[in-house]
Structure formats: C-alpha cells, structure tokens
Copies of this chain bind each other. A is one copy, B any other.
Amino acid sequence: MRVVEIADRRQAALDLLVHYVRVVDDPRRVDEWPDLFTDQAEYLVITRENHERGLPIAVIRDDSKDRIRDRLVIIKEFWGAGGRSEDRHYNFAWPRHIVGPVWVEVQESGEAVLGAHVMVWGTGQIGGAPLLLAVGEYRDIVVFADGVARFKTKTVILDNPVLQDVFVYPL
C-alpha cells in the first residue's frame, strides 16, 4: 500500500472510533450502532482475565450482524419504551465514554488493528453522581470497502469482571 493510503486508512479508523463513541453515548443515535459493523462482524465483551488466558468464555458474544441488530432491538424494545414500564429506569442514565490513548496499525492485508484504553461512566438522569461502570480496552479490526471504514470485530476487554451497575447500551 502507498504511504498516502496508509495514512488515509489510519485516519478513517480513528474517525470510526469517534463515530462509535458518539453513537453509543447518545441514546437518540443508538440506531446507527449496527451500521458501524460489516455484514460479517463480531461484537465481543470479555473479561481481561479470560482474554489474557486465551479462554473463550465471553460476557457478550454477538457473532453475527443479526445478533448485533438484535441487541439494538433489545435496547429499544425490552429496556426502552416498548418494554415493561418498570424496566425502563434501567436506561435512564447518561452514558459517557472517556477514551485515550488510541493507536492504529494498518496491516499488510489492508485491515487496520485499532486499540484504545477506555472508561465508561453512567450518570443517573435524576440527580446522581457519575458512576464508573467499566475500565478496559478496545481491540478492534477495521476494514475498508467502497471508501467506508467499518468494524469487522470489536472486542471490549473489561478489567473489572462485572459492570458496576445495570447498563443497557453498547460498550
């Protein structure tokens, strides 16, 4: 690949990460979340311990685009306005990702490996203090087709094996 193309892919991967963070932190935009993945994609949430040991057991393994789309339905219908009213308070929290540092390595294959350290905070919409939900790392594979960058895999590695509160949105 030419140097210019590598630089372009690097920037496109960084932009994709920003797009992802803005979408998952904005309950009104969560509909856009599945479109950030390729048709064959995986969204994986795994504890750091299992990741380090190479153990396959994950907290979440949405191993197809259909499962990723299903998660969106669950967020909107089950936890959201379509579900039981007594469950709806679970998504009455403002999500907020703080991310950095971020790095991107464009591979010979043309794919980019993206890594980032990340924290996720949730703040109750009714007067609460910010609550730290998770500290961890993204390890993603970004691919490029027709000039668009998308996640082939998005892996969220959790330092804390359990989230510190109920949280319905994507990490």
Residues of A within 8 A of B (CB): 15, 17-18, 21-22, 25, 28, 48-49, 52, 94, 96-103, 115, 117-119, 121, 123, 125, 127-130, 132, 134-137, 159-162, 164
Bound Cα distance A150, B161 (Å)? 35
| CB atoms of B161 and A127 under 8 A apart | yes
Q: Which residues of chain B are within 8 angstroms of A128 by Cβ–Cβ distance?
A: 160
| CB atoms of A99 and B121 under 8 A apart | no
Q: Which residues of chain B are within 8 angstroms of A135 by Cβ–Cβ distance?
A: 96, 98, 121, 123, 130
Q: Which residues of chain B are within 8 angstroms of A123 by Cβ–Cβ distance?
A: 48, 135, 159-160
| CB atoms of A101 and B99 under 8 A apart | yes
Question: Taking the full assembly, how many copies of this chain does it contain?
Answer: 3
Q: Which residues of chain B are within 8 angstroms of A48 by Cβ–Cβ distance?
A: 94, 123
Nearest CB of chain B from residue A160's CB, rounded to whole Å: 5
Which of the residues B15, B25, B98 comes within 8 Å of A119, measured between beta carbons? B98
| CB atoms of A130 and B129 under 8 A apart | no
Which of the residues B22, B99, B159 comes within 8 Å of A100, measured between beta carbons? B99
| CB atoms of A21 and B94 under 8 A apart | no
Nearest CB of chain B from residue A63's CB, rounded to whole Å: 26
Which of the residues B18, B96, B125, B159 comes within 8 Å of A136, measured between beta carbons? B96
